Amino acid sequence: MTQELIGSMIDRYLLQHHLTRGGMSEIYLALDTQTQSTVALKLVHSSNYDYCERFQREVKTIALLEHNHILPALSYGDYNDWCYMVMPYIEYGTLNRKLANSPLSLEDAGRVLEQLSDALQYAHDRGIIHRDIKPTNVLLQDGEHVYLADFGLVKRVGDDNGLTVTGYLIGTAEYMAPELAEEPASAKSDQYALGILLYQMLTGHVPFIASTPIATYLKQIRERPEAPSDANPALPESIGEVILRALQKEPRHRYATVRDFAQAYKQALETVQKPVLIHARQETRWPLRETKTRAIQPGHLLKPAHIWAVLVAVVVFCIVPLLLGLSISSLYGQTPQSPEKRLHVTAQKTERQVSPGATSTRSGSAAQQRKSVQLRTTSSRPPQSIPASINQNNENENIPTAYGLSDDEHNNDGNGHGHGHGNNNGGNGHGNGNAYGHHK
């Protein structure tokens, strides 16, 4: 069927090359004979009424979201036995493809996060929830410009006529917020998925993965994610803390908006890039311990006047007792002795044996003076019934383009979850389908 359609005309679009397929749809590279531009064309047979209806839903939603980082739908229609949707062809591919090599740098991940959060905030402000944020639904034009794609699972806030059916959850288990087991999708659940995506961009894998979608989602509900700085020791703890807040189990503990999430990451990144440095005086003689660079608030530093006050207090503390005729040992609770008394004690020592447990006052005082003061640097780290079906996360690794599909109940294109949790490339296959796919 796929090869038979190559060379065919669907309306004004000439099908040139088959890109990939989903359970219910086919994606072709096509030529717009009117504009002579290359496009991606998704086809669904008109006998699949529900899927064609979803096409209409997605096109109408995208028409309301004219944004620089949301992939537009160029056209939609019916032609003979087919429903079709036309989209721009993004040659570079998906974020999933970019993550296949290694995690992103802090700066690159920040650029992706900023653009995605901008697109999501635009949708959220208009009452639209994406519900399927993952690497395969993020397209990169020229490797830099980000497009959020696949609004096939989109839900309007307050819309009871969604795609969720009793006993089922629609989405990708690795990116689904815990509250979706009992509550409707919201901007906070989109934020959670975006947090999982950022975790994956910086560590190379998602925080929760298991052999089945339900087992994976159970982990989302029950387990705490591994700290990003533990999953990737090169990550600063401040960056990890930003991510972990977006991954809080309770939606109310997350950021107020995805824009706030992106802003928190940006601020943490600036702190890492521009630390506040304290320069040691050249005459310092003691060895310096290796420490972590930390931001220090100016208000916590001593002012010059305060430093002089401390020095004067130390001098007075040491000199005044001497002026009063006291020895330094009296500062440790000992009574000074006269020369005669000291001679008498010495004579006594020659006549009797000192008990093994006894220690001289003088030697005890010296021992106390030799006690070292240890400086410690401490850091602290912030310490239902399950639906019958959740979409398993699959990816067709053999498809060199960005147009794979994922249909919740029909997609068999992927390779499943054969990747390990700790492998940098292990989690990169965890993203169901590609950016032009839909779920059913």
Give the active site residues. Answer: 132
Structure tokens at 96: 């999933």
| Residue of 50, 37, 144 whose CA lies nearest to 87 | 37
CA dist., res. 173 & res. 292, Å (int): 37
The structure tokens 């900023």 sit at 114
Q: Which of 28, 25, 32 is nearest to 40 (CA)?
A: 28
Q: How many CA atoms lie within 13 A of 195 on its CB side?
A: 34
Which residues have CB under 8 Å from 197's CB, separation 6+? Answer: 116, 133, 134, 135, 138, 175
Closest CA to 261 of 274, 245, 272: 245
Nearest CA to 131 out of 86, 74, 72, 192 is that of 192
Cα torsion angle, 68, 71, 75, 76, sign: negative
> Using CA atoms, how far apart are residues 402 and 423, in angstroms rounded to an integer?
23
Name the phi and psi angles at 276, rounded to 5.
-85, 120
